[in-house]
Amino acid sequence: MLKAAIVGMGKWGQTLVDSVQGKDGAGIRFVAGCTGRPERAADWAARQGVRILPSFEAVLADREVQAVAIASPHGMHAEQVIAAARAGKHVFVEKPFTMTKVSAEAAVDACRNAGVVLALGHNRRFLPAVAEMKAMLADGRLGTLLHVEGQFSGPGALAYKPGMWRANRAESPLGGMGGMGIHMVDMFINLAGRIAEVTVQSHARVLDNGLDDTTAGLFRFESGATANFATLAYAPRYWRVGLFGTDAWAVLHGHESLVTCRRDGTPEEKVFPVTDIERAELTAFAAAAAGGPAYPLPLQDAIHGVAVYEAMIGAAASGSTYRVA
C-alpha cells in the first residue's frame, strides 16, 4: 500500500483523495497533506484520516509519506515536483504539468535522476471508449487519419472571484485551457501523436473578471493531419472528441457514448460503462510506484503537452501561427 500525501486540499485535491481512500484494490492511501487554508479542510481531513502538516516542506520531511499528489496552483507544480523528487517521493501531479517546456523538462529530469515515478493527471486516458478509439486507429478501421475535432467546455469561470488563484491570468492565460482545454490537448496527443503547429484565438466575449471565456484553435500534427479545438469557460459543460479518417469516423460524446460510421454506412453507437477515472489514474500510479506496469502517459507526452500549451499562449498573443518547440 503506497502511503501518500495530498498537496492542496481544495475541491480537486479532495476529489482525488475521496476516489481511493478506504477502497479495496486502489493500492494507495492518503495519510497526510498540506494546504494553503487548513481551517477550510480540517473537518474533511479528519473524516478521511489525513494529517494536516504545516507546510510542503513538512510533507517532504515526513517519513511515513512515500508519495505526493500535487493539486496546487499551476505555477507551483514544477518547483514542487523537483523538490519531491529530490526528497525521494513518487509524484502524481495535476495538469497542467508545468507552464513552460523548460520547467517540464527539468521536472522530468529530476524524477528520472531520483528514480521515482512521475505521473500526470490526464484522467481521460483511462476511459474505455478512448482505448477503443486508439484501437481503431491502430488496426486500420479508420483508414488514414485526416482530421481531429475536440471541445471541452464548462461554466467554471463564473465562480472565479478576484483573489482566487484561478482568476489570475498568470495561472489561467487562455481562459479555460488550464482547467479543461489542456485535457483535450493531451487527448489529441494520445490519439493522433505530436502536434507541429498551432493557430489560436482567445478572448472574453462576456466575462468581466479578467479571464478569456472563448478559446479556439487550429492545429496541425506532425503526421499531416489537422485538428480544430475549442474550450469555453462560460458555457454548459460539454465534452466531445472525434476522429475522421478515409474509411470511417468515430466521435466520443461525453465519456461513454462512442458513435462510429464507416464510409457509406450507418452510424452505430456503443455505450461504455461509467468509469471512476480519478481512482483509475491513482491506482495506476500506485501500481507503477510498486514496480508494476509503467504509468500509461509517457513523460515525453507530458513535456510535449506543455510545449503545445506554451505555443498556444504565444500564438494567441501574437495572432500568428506558432510552431511547437
Residues 51-76 pLDDT 10s: 999 999 999 999 999 999 999 999 99
Q: Which fold has domain 2-123?
A: Rossmann fold (3.40.50)
Closest CA to 68 of 54, 83, 46: 83
Domain with CATH 3.40.50.720 in the chain: 2-123
3-state secondary structure of 261: strand
Specify the pLDDT at position 277: 98
**Alpha-carbon distance values, 39 to 12, 114, 156 (Å):** 17, 34, 24
Specify the pLDDT at position 55: 98
Residues contacting 115, CB < 8 A, separation 6+:
none
Please state, in angstroms and rounded to a whole number, the distance separating the CA atoms of residues 119 and 62. 21
For the record, the C-alpha cell of 66 comes out as 512515500
Specify the pLDDT at position 159: 79
For the record, the C-alpha cell of 204 comes out as 472574453
Specify the pLDDT at position 128: 98
33 close to 6: Cβ distance less than 8 angstroms: yes
Domain with CATH 3.30.360.10 in the chain: 125-273+295-323
Return the DSSP state at 294.
P
Specify the pLDDT at position 171: 84
Which residues in the chain land under pLDDT 50? none
Please state, in angstroms and rounded to a whole number, the distance separating the CA atoms of residues 206 and 27. 45
Closest CA to 197 of 230, 221, 227: 221
How large a percentage of the chain has pLDDT more than 70?
100
149 close to 233: Cβ distance less than 8 angstroms: no
Q: 125-273+295-323: which CATH number, 3.40.50.300, 3.30.360.10, 3.10.20.30, 3.40.50.1390?
A: 3.30.360.10
Q: Which pTM value belongs to this model?
A: 0.96
- Compute and round to an integer the Cα radius of gyration of the chain: 20
3-state secondary structure of 94: coil
